[in-house]
Each structure stands twice: as C-alpha cells, then as structure tokens.
Amino acid sequence: MKKYGDGYVEHEVVGQTKTVGFQIGVRRTFPISQNKAWKLVTSNAGLKLWLGDFTSFPLQKGEKYSADTGSGEIRVIKPLQQIRLTWQREEWTRPSTVQIRILPKEENKTTISFHQEHLSDEKVRDEMKILWEKVLDIIKEHSQNRG
C-alpha cells in the first residue's frame, strides 16, 4: 500500500506492472541435471507438457507455432538456458510473452522457471498461475520417471 496526502491509501495489485500489464512467475527446483531439465522442456513430449497438442515446428528463433492452447512465435532460444516466445490464446486481444529458464543450482539440481507478462488483468494472471503450477507438477512427475 502507498500513502498519499492526508491518509489516502492506494492498494497495489499483485502482479501488476507499470509497463507490461500483469505478470506471473513460478519456479521449482528438481533433482535433475540441466541437460535433463532442458530435454524435459524442449523435446516433443516436453513441449506437449506445457504447450498442449501442437503442430510440429522447429524450436528456432523466428519460428511460428500453433497449439491447442494458443499460438505465437519463438523469439529467443539459448540452448540449455532459455526460451522466450509470444503466446496468445484465441480469446485474447494481444499476445503475452512467456519465458522459460533452466537454471542449474548444483550438480543434479536445476530450477525450471516460467515467467509470463503482458497479461490483460488479474483474472488472466490467476489462470496462468494455476496453469504454470500444474505444468511444474507434471514436469516433476516426468522428472521422477526418468530417474
């Protein structure tokens, strides 16, 4: 909260930024190597975990994709480290930006992070928070199955 003048208080809205609308970030650390984490996120089976069913596309900068959850364009690929892409659901008026980071912690411990910005409002932010938390739960199950 911020105080103005004679006690006027403005409530800050969680996840709202001054320049990019609403944003959400979720992350989790897994007992797997950076290489294994990258494969979990970028293999065809891995992409399906967070994109849903999709039309096959090369995971390269500038490539456009279409999935049952939305469509967009790959903006940045840094192997073993980062993917940045636009992502727009059919009912949205503008695309969001999703960034996935693979952050090595120590030997066989890696954090996978999903960050999304340019969301239109609190409701969409809450929906995306639930989605990315579910995605991390599914990744956890798959990471345990792969040893």
Domain spans of the chain, in order of start: 18-145
d(Cα 146, Cα 140) in Å, to the nearest integer?
10
d(Cα 56, Cα 58) in Å, to the nearest integer?
7
d(Cα 23, Cα 26) in Å, to the nearest integer?
10
pTM of the model: 0.85
| Pairing between β-strand 82-87 and β-strand 96-106 as defined by DSSP bridges | antiparallel
pLDDT tens for residues 76-125? 999 999 999 999 999 999 999 999 999 999 889 999 999 999 999 999 99
Compute the chain's Rg from CA coordinates: 17
Indicate the class that CATH gives domain 18-145. Answer: alpha beta
User: What is the reported pLDDT for 99?
Assistant: 98
- Tokens matching residue 68: 């049952």
